[in-house]
Amino acid sequence: MIEVNGIAHIILTVSRFKECRAFYKKLLPFLGLQLVFDGEDMCYHVGARTGVGIQRCAREHQDERFVQTRTGLHHFCFRARSRQDVDQVYELLQEINATIVTPPQEGPWAPGYYSVLFEDPDGIRVEVNYVPGKGVLAKDAGFNPSGDYE
């Protein structure tokens, strides 16, 4: 057995590439990720032991939109260092007119769980959360996976 050191990168394939690129070029630097590649069909940000790439979808899929309940990605989540960080992300999201699914609030998934949930221009759901201490790994944390993002 090994213990991985997090997720190295996530690549999102989007149909509204121009809009998504602009969205992530505002969001990701705010989260501490630096733009390291900006090409015609892909941009890539790296920071905080994380990489996020946004790539243009194939031409035959350019009219499609992300469907959260379809096979594949449900959403992805950045871990913040404080509740205040989550609140600051929420303020940025309002400034850039992001689609807010759930404003900052506590959730049942771990003791002290606090998050904001939103969508990029393709409808891909992104979350920023804060969980104090050991989260669900804390003794008697009472993990409750029944909370849903519908």
* pLDDT exceeds cutoff 60 at 150: no
In a domain? residue 1? no
* pLDDT exceeds cutoff 50 at 148: no
In a domain? residue 69? yes
Q: Which domain holds residue 60?
A: 9-137
CATH code at position 26: 3.10.180.10
9-57 per-position pLDDT tens digit = 999 999 999 999 999 999 999 999 999 999 999 999 999 899 999 999 9
In a domain? residue 100? yes
* pLDDT exceeds cutoff 70 at 89: yes
In a domain? residue 101? yes
**DSSP state letters, the chain:** -----S--EEEEEESSHHHHHHHHHHHHHHTTPEEEEE-SSEEEEEETTEEEEEEEPPGGGTT----TTSSS---EEEEPSSHHHHHHHHHHHHHTT-EEEEEEEE-TTSTT-EEEEEE-TT--EEEEEE--TTGGGSTT----TT----
Output the pTM of the full model: 0.88
Total domain count for the chain? 1
In a domain? residue 148? no
